[in-house]
Each structure stands twice: as C-alpha cells, then as structure tokens.
Structure 1
Amino acid sequence: MKLSVRGLAGSAQRVMSTAQNGLEVIRFGGLGRDTDSSPFEIVERRPMYRLRRYFPGAPTGGPVALFVPPLMVNADIWDVNGDDGAVGILHRGGIDCWVIDFGSPSVEEGGWKRDLADHVLAVNSAIDTVCATTGRNVHLMGYSQGGMFAYQAAAFRAGKGIASIVTFGSPVDIVAGMPLGLPHDAVSDLVDFAADHVVPRLPITDRMVRIGFQLLDPVKTAKARIDFLRQLHDREALLPKERQRRFLTNEGWIGYAGPAAADLLKQFVVHNRMMLGGFVIRDQPISLADLKCPILAFLGEVDEIGQPAAVRGIVRAAPRAEVYESTLVSGHFGLVAGSVATRLTWPQVRDWVGWIDGSNPLPEEIVPMSDHVPEGVPRTALRRVVHTAAALVEAGAEVGRTLEHLATNTLRGSVGVVEGAARTLPRLTRLGMIEPSTRISIGRLMAEQARRSPRGECFLFDDRVHTNVAVDMRIENVVRGLISVGIRPATRVGVVMETRPSALVTLAALSRIGAVAVLMAPESDLNSALEQTGTMILVSDPENLRHAVATGARVLVLGGGDARGLAVPDGTDLVDLEQIDPERVRVPGWYRPNPGRARELAFILVAGVGDRLDIKYITNHRWALSAFGTATAADLDHKDTVYCLAPLHHSSGLLVSLGGAIAGGSRIALARSLDPARFAEEVHRYGVTVVTYTWTMLRDILDAEVFPEGHAHPVRLFIGSGMPAGLWRRTVEQFAPARVLEFYASIEGDVVLANVPGVKFGCKGRPVPGTARVELVAYDPVSGQVQVDDNGYARRCGDNEVGLLIGSAGATVDLSLGGLRGVFEPEDSWLPTENLFRRDSDGDFWLVDRIDTVIRTRRGPVFTQPIVDVLNDIAAVDMEVAYALPGRDRVLAVAAVSVRPGFRLEPVDITEALRSLAPDQRPDVVYVVDDIPRSPWFRPSAHAVAAAGGPRPGPLTWWYEPESESYAVLTDTDAAWF
C-alpha cells in the first residue's frame, strides 16, 4: 500500500510537534501556561497564614466568601482554572473573594511543628479580619480538609460572623465512608498507634503527598498521563488544561506537618469526633452540634476520598442547622476544579450565596440533605462502577476493585468481632490473675494510663479537657501535699466534695499513697459518719468547707478558690493544700506509689443520716472487679467518652462511671449535677458515647424534652442500675438507637450481673465474665431461713422460683461479713446478697425484692419490685413505690403512683397492667400522690411516701376486688372494712 505525500507530511509534522512539546515539558516541567492567575493582594500576614483578597481594585459591598484549602493542596486551587475557576466565576457574580493561604510547612518557620488547632485558630483569626474589613458576615467555603476546618472553626466561634458554610467533598462521619472502602474497625487501632508514635515524628513532604494522592486513584492517574502523551502533538488541545495538569502532577501539592496529621488521624479517623462531637481545640471541647448557620455540602458520586456517606454525616452532626446538598457526578478534585466545577459547582455556589442574601431563589439542584438516600444508593454505586470501568478501559488496565469491595464488606463484621475479643480478653485475663496480694488500685491504673498515653485525654469538665499527663502531675502534687500533713498508708480520710476534678484527683492521690478514702455525701450526717467509720480527718472542697469544719475534725481543703478567704471559727485545724509547694515536700522513705493490694480496703461509702447510715466497704479487688466488668460488658475503649451523671461519692459513680472509664481507657466527662439543659449541651460538645445513671435520674432528662425523639446524638449506651422498666422503655425510644445496660452489683461480694443485650426491660441479666459464680437458693422471707434438701444442703431454685442470690466467695472475700460454708458441698464458701431474685428459663436474673422490704401479708409474702415494674410501664405513670401498710388486723400491700403531666390515670389502666402478676402478688391498694420524693441518688422513697400519711378514700385511690379481679374506687365503707 502506498502512502500519500500529504499523509507522510502529516505524520512527520506530528512526530516533530510531539518531540518539540515533549522537550519543552522535560526542560520546563510543562507547556506554556494558558491562563493567568487572578489578581490578589495580601491583606494580612501572620506566622500561620497569609490572607489574600482577590480583585482588590473591584467595587466592594457585596457578599463575602472566605476560601479554606486543605493542608496538602496549594491555596491556588481556587484559581487553578483562571476565569473559569472559583474566584473568577464568583467575582463576576458580585462576590468579594478572600483566600487563606497556610503556605508550605517546608518553607514556613516552624511549619513542621504545626498541629490541627493551629490551622483552626488561623481560620478563626482570618474570619475576624475579613468581617472587620468588609463589615459583613462571611460565607465560609472549604475543600476537603479545608471544609473540615470550616466546620471546626465555625463551631469554635459558635457561628459568630458566618453567613453560611459551603464545603466540597468534606467528610464528617469518617466511619461511614473510609477511603478505598477500608473497614474502620480493622484500621483504627493501627491508625491510633501511628498517630501516637509515628506520624508526629514524620514530616510528610510534598513529594509524599503527591504520590499518595495519585495512589488513591492509580487508574485515573494513569489515564491522565496516557491522554497527555496521546495529545502531546496537539499543543492547542493541551494548553487549556495545562495549568490544571501541572497543578495535579507537581505544583499543587505541599507537605503536611506531622502533628497536624496526627491530630487528624487521632480525633477524626480513630475517634470520629467530627461526627460524635468532643474534638479538642486548645483544651476546649467542640461539637458541630453548636452550628446553626445554613450549610451546603457538595458531594461527588465517584469521590473515593470524601465519600457521600461520610459527607452526609453533617446532617446528623449539626442537628440545629439547615443542611443542604448538591450531588455531582465527579471525583474528589473535580468538585472544585475542571469542567464539572466550571459548569455546575461554582454557578450553584454563586446562586446559593444570592439565596442566602435574599436576591434569588434556591437553585433546584440544591436540596435539603437527607441522612438516608435509599433511591440514590444504587444509582451512586452504579455510577461509581461505570466511572471506574470506563477509566479502566480507556487506560487499558484491569483492576478487581469490585472484588476488593466485596471482600472488604465480608470482612467488616468479623473484624469487629475480633477487635472486641482483643479488648475483652486482656481485661478478663487480668481479672483472673488477681490474687489477694496483687497490687491493683485506681491510682495504679491511672498511672498506667498516663505512661501508656501521656497526651491522651483523661477527663472533661466545664468545657475543658485535661490530658493524662497533666492529671498525673496534679495527682503527684496532691500526694506530696497529703504526705506533708501526715497521711500514711491505711489512714482513713473522709472526702466531702462535689463532683469536680479535685474530687477525682483526691481519690487517686489517696489511692496512690495507700490510704482509705471514706466518701461522704455533702448532705450527709458527717458527725455520725466520722464516728461510725473511725475517721479523724476530712478533705473538703471550698463549697463544703463550713459543713466539714463544723464537725470539729481536722480539715484539708482542696480545689478552686482560696480557703483563707472563707470565714471559719478561730482555732479550726484547717490546711489549704493548694498553698503547699510540692517541690518543698520531702518524700519519706516509706513512700511507694500505689502500694494497694487486692485484699486491702480502698474505699468506704457512706450514705444516709444518723442511725440509718448505710456504710459499704470496698476493697481494691472489688473496685477492680466493677471497673473491668463494666469495661468488658459495655465494650468501653479509648474511642468512648463516658458521661458521669452519678456523683463520685455514689457507688455508681465510683465503681461504674469512673472505674469502667479508667479500665477501658475512655475519656471521663464529669457533670456537676443533673441539669437537663446542660446535659444536652455537654453530650454534644463532649461527644458523649456512654452515659451513666442511677435509678430514675434519666426521668428528668426525658421530661425536659431536651432530646426530642429522633434528635441526632452521639450516645450509644446508658449504664447504671435501678432504672424502672417503663423509664427504660422511654429511654430507648427517645434515644434510639442507644441501648440501656443495666447492672446489679453486690458491694461486699463479687457478684456482678449485667443485661448486656438490653432487650428485656427490667431484667438484671447474667453474671459478667470474671466475676463471682452465682446461685439462687430457696429462701423463706418470713422466717429468714435458707431452705435445705434431705441432705441438709441448700436447695437450688427452679426456673422462675423466687430465691436468695448468693455468690461464690473468692480469696479476697471476708466471710466474717456473713458468709456461708457447706452450702452445696462440704467446705464451699458463699456470700449471700441482700436481694431476692428469680431466674427465667433463658437463664436471666430478675430482681424481686430486698429481704427487708418484702411485704409480709396474711396471704404470704408480696414482692415489691414486680409491682413497681408493672406500674411503671403504664404510660401515664411517672414514678411509683410499693410498701407495707399495717391495717387493723393485717398488713396491706400498698402502691403509690404519681402521674405524668398531661396524662390521666384510670382504674382500668391499673387493672389491666396488674393482670400480669399472680393474684396473690397484686397490691391491695393503689393510690395517686402529687409527688414521690427521691433520695439524693434519685431513688423513689417508699419511706417518705408512707410517712406522708398513706392512702385516703376518694376517686384517686383504688382497692383490689378479688371476685372481679379488678380495681375500684376506695370508699369510706371499703376503707372501714380494711
């Protein structure tokens, strides 16, 4: 076949053009630039940034936009397409465009030491400057991590000066959309280790960044290079895209400071705190729930970095804001640069700003964001596959990405199981290895945590975050102060403090010395408590100082405020520990940190008044048992933040909240008191995942409606004891999908039950692994005797038979407290609890009553807890108690209820509810009271209700008619019969 002269000439010209253009690329890095940069001036220079204002000579007075780039991309990203880029299109739309330029850490002074907070605070400062210069609120716009900075800075400043937020491919819920489809559970621990030990020491250079991004989508990178080579002969075709190509292949990437990368990985990849709340900026916890300004998020349907599921997390993370979205068929970079951005992104942004300012309607492409988009999921997935397949075909490569995603999704569940087992097994192993002489204590565990993760966050209080190393240093200083005033191992020291950091530090410091902390409620009878526990010295905070001084005991004061400024009687033996210089304290030779052994007494809990004091003795082993048991049952880890609603001087606060969080390595959020409004704020701001409670504590939060049903929140679990069945049901309905984990624990023994599945409301569950073996033995509540078989051994209860709960007595249990031997075989050791239970056919335990509150009627014992559970499950009932009421010639079983506001309680409601109980277990009388007093622990007080006078005939008092098996209004005649 002969070639024409024209064909030969064309081929030669093509070869010459390719060679010429290729040589230019080799020598200069690219072809001549097709577009000029838009003009800008530097308005402000700071060590962290330079603030650009584009088109400085243009008229001002219109809307203002501040653009935030991601750390690894040059700030020129907003102008990479010149007139067809972000600042060009928005400028022509009358928008005043500003850009914050962080510079490259490789050339900026101290650039490699920058952390995440430095950048958020830089954006915050730039917002102030732009607002002050223009006199207008800004539309804050960020791409990728720049959008994350925009969210974070807006939350940090509580939305001040911000008209709206616009983000492009900015992930919020990292767990929902890990890059490349990686399972979060599989990589979180590895990422956490890297964030602590590798990344902070490793400067991520611009070359590493460029290669990393190209590896995230190698198919697209290869295709772009092949396309460039194929068109290298056609200079006119390449020039319009040349600046963008050079930006992507080399010039657009900058290095990433290690500390900033570590913060990103730690807070937002490992802990997912953009989604949950509680991320930290300079020791201040922040939540996106504080955002109230309008938000527009752009999503790329084929974006593997800012995946749609991750981006859409903003609608749940910011429940108070109006959140909108615009979905484009684009990858990550294409959202802000290239033809899609020119045609769709920036015109929509221009029109969004006009809509916010009231000058035009909302574009139809911008719609309210929905967290769940069922119709879009298959469409999005299909487009991603088509997009990938097309790229593969064009580049001439084959990659089994579909198979990769299938394998990833298959492994996701099994990885979670393995990870949970990896956390649980070491805890159970450590529990099993505890011997009476084993050194274990709260002080020891906190010291271990400080060594393991010094920069980790220990606790939050009053919107401040305290790290492990800072808390450990504070503990050491208090230890020195206590030693200087004569505190030694085994010394009993009363602690009278509100829930505050100083209280936590005091408990840890006493433990570190080996002393015994005697925890007394501030409202308790301190004189009786001191006498009955053999305590001679008190530690108080300034709020309770006068109460403590009134006892006449020696008082040490610790905490905020100056004790010297408080008026106290002359001659008071008072020491202000804050005034002691720890550096001047000589540490004695006997001091060994954390000497407490498992068998030794660690805490004494005191509650009640006068002769009714309730005193509980807790060994180090008993505390560790609850701590590790809670952490295991609740699957607590370093990603959790445990909100301690119960005070630290209550067993739930000490054993469950504090103990579980420390054993699980979780953050502790201390609440001053039960304040529903504050609770709602702090749950979001702290990123609370677990809430601890006692009894009816959550009733106040539910009634305040600070969390309406369906309201987004980060809570996954409520942990506590004593929650009534109906309140339990209300809690899981209002806080769905959170669960309730109800515990039962004997103080002196090692019995710990937990309802881990949480599906049987009111049930106490089963023994926690590593705790005492339990049995139910037949018991006569009238005589108070354990029933025996023909061989004289205790008779085990059958299914649903009421019996006494007993636990096996380990080596650390003191049988002198009322233990039993020879229960089922010679020489076995058991410790009885004070509670009666039944065990259902599934093996789950249900509390029936305390031994001392069983109602002993003529028809036999009536148990109070089933009555309480049934009545509480009536929608109209707020709280309830059941108690024994002596009558003329017999004892009556009586129940009192209070009614929820807006509800009405009828006799038929009572009748239908109590049908679930056997006739001999139904109360004789049910009556309505205005209110049911509660203890300081929020337990409804039957004693207080009975003392108020008992039931009276009338329309709100009903008595049980055995013949009709129903409840009827109690008349004077009926009352006389009683």
Structure 2
Amino acid sequence: MKFKARTLTSPIHRVLATAQNGLEVIRFGGLDTGEIESPFTVVEQRPMFRLRRYFPDAEDMDTRAPVILVPPLMVATHIYDVTREQGAVGILHDRGLDPWVIDFGSPDREIGGMTRNLADHVVAVSEVINIVRQHTGKDVHLGGYSQGGMFCYQTAAYRRSVGIKSIVTFGSPTDAVALPMGITVGAATKGADFMADHVFNRLAIPGWMVRTGFQMLDPVKTVKSRLDFLMQLHDREALLPRERQRRFLEVDGWVAWSGPAIAELLKQFVVHNRMMTGGFVIDDRLISLAEITCPVLAFVGSTDDIGTPRAVRGIRRAAPRADVYEATLRAGHFGLVVGSSAGTLTWPTVADWVLWHEGKHGQPGIAKPMTDEDQPAADGDYTVMSRLVNSASQAAEIGFGVAQDVVDVTVGAAKTTKEIAGEAVRTLPRLARLGVMQAHTRMSLGLLLEEQGRRAPLGELFLFDDRVHTNAAVNERINNVVRGLISLGIRQGSHVGVLMETRPSALATIAALSRLGAVSVLLQPGTDLTEAIRLGEVAGIVADPPNLPDAMKAGVRVFVLGGGENRDLPVGDADHVVDMERIDPDAVRIPDWYQPNPGIASDLAFIVFTRSRGHTEPQFITNHRWALSAFGTASAASLTASDTVYCLTPLHHPSGLLMTLGGAVAGGARIALTRSFDPSRFAEEVHRYGVTVVSYTWTLLGELVDADDLQIQRHHPIRLFMGSGMPRALWKRVRDRFAPAQVVEFYASTEGEAVLANVSGAKPGAKGRPIPGSANIRLAAFDVENDRFIEDERGFVKEAAENDIGLLLAFPRTGGEQSPNVIRGVFRSGDMWIPTDHLFRRDSDGDYWMVDNRNSLIRTARGVVYSLPIEDALADIELLNIAVAFGVEHGAHSLAVAAISRRTDVTSPERKAKEFTPEQFDRALSVLPESQRPDIIYSVDTMPMTTWYRPQTRALAADGIPQASVNAWYYDTADHKYHRLTEAARKRIMKQANS
C-alpha cells in the first residue's frame, strides 16, 4: 500500500512543484537562489563609466595587486560576478588580488550612450587605469572578455603599455581573417562595409536583440537548454546551482549596443582588419598593437565559434614585441568566463598569472608561450562541420524540425566560397571608367577627392604625424584654399608653382589648384628654380615657411600656406608675399565664372621636372594621364579602402603624384605621408599607421634592406611594394627581407600613355604587361646601329619578333594627348603612334623587358651593347648590392663598363670574408652573348645616387676607364673569362677601343 501511495502522490507533487516554481519564474524572472552579489563600492562615476572596487573593506588591500576587468559592450557588467563562489571577482579576491570592474552601463539608459564609439571606450579604460594607479600606487593587470579584451589590447597600444603590468583576455579576436562559423572574408567584408555605412550610422541594437542574436548563434543548444529547464522545473534543488547563470543568459545579461560602436567595429575589425595591420584611430591618434610591450595571456576556447582559436591567436603576430602566452580550454565563448570550467580553471589561472608577474607564484601550468605557427585542433575540438553535425543530432533528439535550418546554414556557408571568384570584379568600375574616358570627359584629382568625400565623409583620407585627416576635413581645407587662391587672382588655367615639403598643406594646395582648374607646377625644394619657373611659365608660387626664402628669390608673387599658427615669416613687400592663412575664406566673394572641378581629361593638370643628361626637362601631365596612372595603379596593386599606402617619395616627384597619391585616391585607400625618407622611422610608422603598401623609386629601398637596426617585425602588415626602376638584385632582396610582401613594378612612358605593370612579381626585372585602359603598344623593329626603324618591302615598319629588341611605340586610347613626336603611316597607312625612347623585348609569355634607352646605348668597337641585361645578369651574384652598366668613351668608340657595389647587410663571418671573384662574373654573365658582356667590371665603395636614389652613371662615366686594381676585372676574349685588371690589360683594352 505504501508503494502505491508514493506512486499516486509523486505526480501530484511534481505538478505542484512545477506550478509553484513556474509562478516564481513568471513573476520574478527566475528562482530565488539566496545568493548575494559580491560587495563593491563605486569609486568613480563619470559619463562613460562607473568604476567598481570589489571587497573594498579587505584588511590587506595594500598588499594586493590590482586587476581591472573590462566587459564587452553588449554584455552586462556582472558577467564577472554571476555567482559569488564561481565568479571572477570572488575567486580573484579569495586568491589575494584586488579586483576592479568597469561598468559602462546600458547605452540606452545613459545620456549620450547611443552615440558612443569604440574610441570612447578605449579612452575610458585608459582613464580607469590612471584612477586605479592613483588609488593603489601600483601598475595594474588588465583583463577583458571578448570585445572587452579587444579594448584591453587597444588601450595598451594607446598608452604604449605605460602603467600596465600585464594583459589577460578571454576569447578576444584580433585577426578578422578567422571569422566566426567559417564565414569568408570576402562575404563578411562586403556585408560589414554596407551595414557600417548605411545601417548602423542610423540604428542601434537594443538589449533584447543582442540577447536573441547571441542565442541564435546556436539555436539548437538554446532550445535544448530551455527544454531541460522546463523538464526539471519541479526539482528546485537541481536548478538552483545554475539558476543565476541561466538568468544571466536568458534575461538580464545583455545590454544595448550603440550604432557608432557597431559601425566602427565592423569598419576597423572586419572590413580593414586593423587590429592586425595597425593604423586604427583612437582619440585622433594612430596606434598599432605592435606598440604593446607588456606580457599577454590569451585564453583560447577550443569550441569557441565567436572568438575562434585562430582569430584569438592573431595577437601573437599583431603584438610581436610582447611576450604572449595562451591557455587553451575545452570551452565555448561564454564558458571561458562563466560556468564550472571558468570557476575551476580560468580564474584560478588568472590569479596565478598575476601572482607570477608579482613575483609571488610560479608560472601557471596551462599558460604556454604562444607560437607563430598555426595550432592544430586539439583532440575533440569542434570544426564548423562537426558543430553543424552535432547540432543536427541534438535537433533530432529534441524532436524539433530544425534540422533543415542547419542544412540551410551549411549550404549558405558553401555558397560563400563563390565570393573568392568575385574578387576580380572589384577592379572593373575603375577600368570601365578609364575605358569610357574621352578627351572632353570631366576628370581631375579635385573631382575624385570630392566624390570620395560625398561617399564617405568620415572616411580616413591621409595620415601625417600620427594624426588622421578625414575626407570631409580635407575637402573643407581644399575649398578654403580655393577661396584664398581666387582672392589672389588665380583663375582656371593659371600656372602656379608649388614649393613645399611633404605635408598636409602641400596635398591641399595641389588638390585646390586642381579643383580650381589651374595647373600645378611642382617645384623641387633645395634646387635652382630659375629654369623650372621659366619652363613652367609660373605666375606665382605657393610655398610653405621653410621654403619661403627660396621662393622670394624667384621674382614672382609668393603665397605662404601651412606651417601652423605661430610662424616667423621673413619681412618683405606686402604685395610680393601674401600669408594665405590670414585670408578669411568666408569673406571671399565667389565669382560667377567659378565652377568646382572644371578640368577635362585633355586639360593640362601638372608640370613636373626631371634631370636628363644635365638638363632640366618638364613633363606635362594631363588629367587623363594622371587618371590613367591613378586607376591603373589602383587596379594593378588591388588597392582598397583597407589599404594604407606609405608615400616615401614627396608629392613633387612623379612617383608620389601619379602613382602613390593617384593610386590611393582612385582605390579609396588611406595615404600615409612622411616628412622625409628615414629608415630609423620607417618601422615605427609602418606598424603605427598599419601600412600595407609602400611606394618606392629606383634604389630607395636599398637603405631599408641594408639597415642593421631596422625594427620591422616578422609579422609586419606590408603586403606590397610598388614603384618603378628597382634593380633586379634589390628586388630579390626586398622580397626576402619583407616576405611575404611582393613587388609590383611599373613602367610609364613620358609621352604616349604607355603603362606596364609586373603584377605577378614572378619575373624580377621584367616590366610586365600593359595595364587595362592604357595605350595600345607595339614594338617596332629598330636598327640601333643607325638609329632608325627597320622597314618591310612596302616601306612600313616591321614589328619586332618575339625576344627581338624593338622600340616601344604607344597609341593613346583617348586620342586626346597632343605630342610633337607623333609619327604616322607606321604599320599601315594613316595610323598614328607616339615613340618612346626605350628599347624592349617581349618574351614568349608576353612580358616586356626593358633593355636600354636609345639615347644611352653603349656603342663599342664590336657593336651596340645594352646596359640593363648586364645589370640583370649580375644580380644573381649573392654579394652584389647594385650593378650599373654604362659606356666610357675612348677614342672612336666606347667601352662597356659595369660598376658594382657590395652588400653591407651580410652578418655571418663566412659571408663577410667573401669577396667578388672572376668566377662569379663568368657564371652570372654566361646567360649573355659574348658581344653583350662588359669589357670591364670594377667595385666601388659607394654608388653615387641622385636625389631620387637613381645611380648616377654619368658621374661614373666621367671618371673614365677604371684603373688597374684588385677590385677591377676585364673580359679576355681569348679564353672567354674574366681576370683581374692589370695595367697591361688596361692598355690593351684601351688600344682595342681606339681601333
């Protein structure tokens, strides 16, 4: 009978208990566990935060190390105190530490909360560090969960680790390449970019939506946990131990997320991946995680689908100067900080880590140095597919029809692989714009900057002196300069000199003249300006204060711009020197003739100057020519808004104007300006600015690869070097020194709009192939001995065969470029071509190789010798730094001479002991016909260079035939080998040159 009574009353008991507990859940949101929060006091309250100090009445506070915990934006602060016994603050306090927690509050309940951005939070964390240090007199240990950990990294970089003894993060991603649930970067970037620009600039996410989104990351697990709770609702004792954790996840653990903060996270982390590359902006300052120097412990959840292990381990590469450790747990994203694993492993390990760095404990057992190599999945770790399979099996057990949803997710993930094939589409709008451009099409630098400002006014345009300048700010400055120029009588078509160092005012001046429709005549500081002013027909000069004295000597009006407010300007004629900074742009009347950006493709836009054969020569650049270089560079280098282009050459150099400035503007990339090229500053600015692309000219990068103290880290952000004129020997060394970065070499003709690019980089030394949208080109068969075209029986010019040397001809696509060098009737009646001065050959793959300039051929007694093939062949000698070939006139003919310099970056004793040997020359030059090998090779200590790092072959040739020495060698035609140059051999060679 007793047995039967129990069976009758037990169901009734379960029903009553379920009803009673269910009513409590309905009325109060959960069960009363009887637990109380850990005691705390609010030490400081400010608009951005309230700072909690837990267990403030502990007697031994002076001996405890302070630990500051930072929550993520969408999670409530008490994530660190879900339970007293298993929560973070309780365990850290019990282990002898002093826990502090930042409370950002719920943005939808704070004044101005919904306008907060990420930078506001980083600055707030930095302020908290100062407050805690003032209260305790000690440096702090900084910890953060998920995005809170990202704040910790950014704050440490912002402060350059000052006042921070160590950092501990939990599931905090740094590398956006490893996105949650296997989402592809291409798909995520496009979606995140759109959402940041068009959705979250207007909307925020309320707390309930944050909660729902988190739960939907694993909907099956969410449904299963709710069913488990309902099935055990009758058993209060079984539910109480996990009740506070359940309530946190189900009810009160989530807060709203402000729109600007979401947009900035999407832009900086997902779209641009600046946590890895550097160059993100905090309080108008540019910073990089490479500036973190304090120790880091990163907790990795092997089953974490949000802060995936690969994304979390990115901190090792992003912060190469820090000692980075990891602690890997079999836990998901939430389980790293809340739950049984957190209580028994996470927080005790954190305590041991802090005490270790306080000198009171040994190294935690599970904290291991993080390595650079990708970590294989631990036994039992989830992959995306195993996660889906596991979820599907759970769905089957529960009996809900969600398996189809899981299949849909799998199919969707597979579809995202198609994004890879869509990357090529990115360049099509640029090429299409070039393709439809005609002589009358509106096009100019000013126009592109205006368009970019309309698309993304808050987008970052250029970086200078650790500051960022937005599109809106730059366009406002440009328009103000335009008003100032108008007030000074500058009109459309005026030729105005620009004599300025690389600085924001220089960019604004060049862009303002473009917007006005005037011509920028770019003058080189520190040179004789007389000839350039005459050739450029300059009516006035815009100068910065350092160049004002030289500008005043030019005999034209001078307009001073830039240099800050406190400037000591030379006293002069008020009508001759005008301080543009004193002009009130709002007081300038805009004339009716002014139309912003009136320039068309065929208009002259810029005049730059080069030195050739001892003379100053102008290069006249139309808007079309500038656009061709700009869009061509952006396409060939695949420049996007995620790139930061480091301009090592000044804006008055053709490379800086056409390729760097033009390519960055056309590609929507950021431009990092530097005052001057300085290898000692290079590494610092690369990491801080997040430089992904570096511009160069000629041998400029040689100083970088030779620098002994170059502090560039192994995991630098540079992906590409782009420029022109780099010797093949240096090209190979740059790739080795900065691997995995590649080199894109460009060639652009002075006239004719021929532009080539070696995009693949597979053939160092080659100029590559024509970029889409540039001029049609052909190689005309050319008789170099007589300096004339080779004609067929009908009198038309023959086209050079494969690997034969010919003169490069260009046919502009727009037909808008006028040149006095146009020739007609070349390959057929009535055709029109513009000849360049460069001789090329085209290999079997269609790649073009420059062999020489028609005006600098080496005319020896045995025939013409080409210089560039000699330099390319010598590049295979390991000890070689730079090689240049040139002709030295002697009597009726010239001698082919090669000057070489030795690398200075060799460090091993074995390599230092090595010297150039004749056998090295024999091997390297064996690829050339005997008639194309240099007569003499000699070594120089220092290779003379121009201002733009181009070897000065004219200066070397002026020194005459090298003297006999142990560092000079000659080619013996008798045994077909090189030997040391003796005085007897030198006389014999000179005699042969005279014959």
TM-score range, shorter chain: over 0.9
Partner of 1:772: 775
Q: Which stretch of structure 1 is more off in the superposition, 59-68 or 444-453?
A: 59-68
- 1:815 is displaced (CA, Å) by 4.8
Relative to structure 1, the CA distance from residue 408 to residue 799 in structure 2 (aligned partners, 3 Å threshold; closer, same or farther) is farther
Q: How many percent identity over aligned positions?
A: 54
Instruction: Give the alignment of 1:520-919 within 5 angstroms.
Output: 520-561=523-564, 565-568=568-571, 573-608=576-611, 612-705=615-708, 711-888=714-891, 890-901=893-904, 902=906, 903=912, 904-919=915-930
Instruction: Give the alignment of 1:386-465 within 5 angstroms.
Output: 388=391, 391-392=394-395, 395-396=398-399, 399=403, 407=411, 410-421=414-425, 423-465=426-468
- 1:571 is displaced (CA, Å) by 7.1
Equivalent pair of 2:683/2:712 in contact (CA under 8 Å): no
1:175-195 deviation digits (Å, cap 9, x = unpaired): 22x222221211312221211
Q: Which amino acid aligns with 2:361?
A: N
Instruction: Give the alignment of 1:249-260 within 5 angstroms.
Output: 249-260=250-261
- 1:394 is displaced (CA, Å) by 5.6
Equivalent pair of 1:164/1:295 in contact (CA under 8 Å): yes
Query: 1:437 and 1:2 mapped to 2: Cα distance?
Result: 103
Partner of 1:21: 21
Is 1:348 paired with 2:349? yes
Partner of 2:992: none
Partner of 1:282: 283
Is 1:959 paired with 2:961? no
1:490-549 deviation digits (Å, cap 9, x = unpaired): 111111111111111111000011000011111332011111222121111111111111
Equivalent pair of 1:542/1:563 in contact (CA under 8 Å): no
Is 1:316 paired with 2:317? yes
Unaligned runs of 5+ in 2: 907-911, 990-995
| SS of match in other structure, 1:592 | coil
Q: Which stretch of structure 1 is more off in the superposition, 261-270 or 560-569?
A: 560-569
Query: 1:258 and 1:454 mapped to 2: Cα distance?
Result: 17
Equivalent pair of 2:545/2:567 in contact (CA under 8 Å): no
Query: 2:365 and 2:437 mapped to 1: Cα distance?
Result: 66
| SS of match in other structure, 1:310 | helix
Q: Which stretch of structure 1 is more off in the superposition, 602-611 or 522-531?
A: 602-611
Equivalent pair of 2:888/2:960 in contact (CA under 8 Å): no
| SS of match in other structure, 2:167 | strand
Q: Count residues with an aligned counterpart.
A: 976
Partner of 1:206: 207
Q: Which amino acid aligns with 1:204?
A: I
Is 1:295 paired with 2:296? yes
Q: Which amino acid aligns with 1:874?
A: I
Q: Which amino acid aligns with 2:308?
A: Q
Partner of 1:53: 53
Q: RMSD over aligned Cα, in angstroms?
A: 2.0
Equivalent pair of 1:274/1:288 in contact (CA under 8 Å): yes
Query: 1:957 and 1:406 mapped to 2: Cα distance?
Result: 69
Partner of 1:86: 88
Query: 1:104 and 1:551 mapped to 2: Cα distance?
Result: 63
1:679-713 deviation digits (Å, cap 9, x = unpaired): 11111111111111111111111111555797001
Unaligned runs of 5+ in 1: none
Query: 2:114 and 2:711 mapped to 1: Cα distance?
Result: 45
Relative to structure 1, the CA distance from residue 811 to residue 425 in structure 2 (aligned partners, 3 Å threshold; closer, same or farther) is closer
- 1:167 is displaced (CA, Å) by 0.4
Equivalent pair of 1:525/1:610 in contact (CA under 8 Å): no
Relative to structure 1, the CA distance from residue 937 to residue 790 in structure 2 (aligned partners, 3 Å threshold; closer, same or farther) is same
Relative to structure 1, the CA distance from residue 941 to residue 130 in structure 2 (aligned partners, 3 Å threshold; closer, same or farther) is same
Equivalent pair of 2:819/2:834 in contact (CA under 8 Å): no
Equivalent pair of 1:439/1:597 in contact (CA under 8 Å): yes
Query: 1:16 and 1:754 mapped to 2: Cα distance?
Result: 80
- 1:879 is displaced (CA, Å) by 1.8
Relative to structure 1, the CA distance from residue 211 to residue 846 in structure 2 (aligned partners, 3 Å threshold; closer, same or farther) is same
- 1:558 is displaced (CA, Å) by 0.9
- 1:379 is displaced (CA, Å) by 5.2
Relative to structure 1, the CA distance from residue 377 to residue 809 in structure 2 (aligned partners, 3 Å threshold; closer, same or farther) is farther
Query: 2:388 and 2:330 mapped to 1: Cα distance?
Result: 12
Query: 2:712 and 2:111 mapped to 1: Cα distance?
Result: 51
Instruction: Give the alignment of 1:34-45 within 5 angstroms.
Output: 34-45=34-45
Instruction: Give the alignment of 1:352-371 within 5 angstroms.
Output: 352-371=353-372
Query: 2:138 and 2:848 mapped to 1: Cα distance?
Result: 63
- 1:164 is displaced (CA, Å) by 0.5
Relative to structure 1, the CA distance from residue 532 to residue 63 in structure 2 (aligned partners, 3 Å threshold; closer, same or farther) is same
| SS of match in other structure, 1:565 | coil
Query: 1:6 and 1:693 mapped to 2: Cα distance?
Result: 88
Equivalent pair of 1:600/1:619 in contact (CA under 8 Å): yes
| SS of match in other structure, 2:744 | strand
Equivalent pair of 2:327/2:368 in contact (CA under 8 Å): yes
Is 1:101 paired with 2:112? no
Relative to structure 1, the CA distance from residue 813 to residue 327 in structure 2 (aligned partners, 3 Å threshold; closer, same or farther) is same
Query: 1:191 and 1:506 mapped to 2: Cα distance?
Result: 35
Equivalent pair of 2:157/2:291 in contact (CA under 8 Å): yes
Q: Which stretch of structure 1 is more off in the superposition, 64-73 or 396-405?
A: 396-405
TM-score, normalised with respect to structure 2: 0.95
TM-score, normalised with respect to structure 1: 0.97
| SS of match in other structure, 1:865 | helix
- 1:822 is displaced (CA, Å) by 1.1
Equivalent pair of 1:689/1:715 in contact (CA under 8 Å): yes
- 1:800 is displaced (CA, Å) by 0.9
1:258-280 deviation digits (Å, cap 9, x = unpaired): 11111111111111111111111
Partner of 2:993: none
| SS of match in other structure, 1:200 | coil
Relative to structure 1, the CA distance from residue 414 to residue 472 in structure 2 (aligned partners, 3 Å threshold; closer, same or farther) is same
Equivalent pair of 2:302/2:378 in contact (CA under 8 Å): no
Is 1:237 paired with 2:242? no
Relative to structure 1, the CA distance from residue 909 to residue 405 in structure 2 (aligned partners, 3 Å threshold; closer, same or farther) is farther
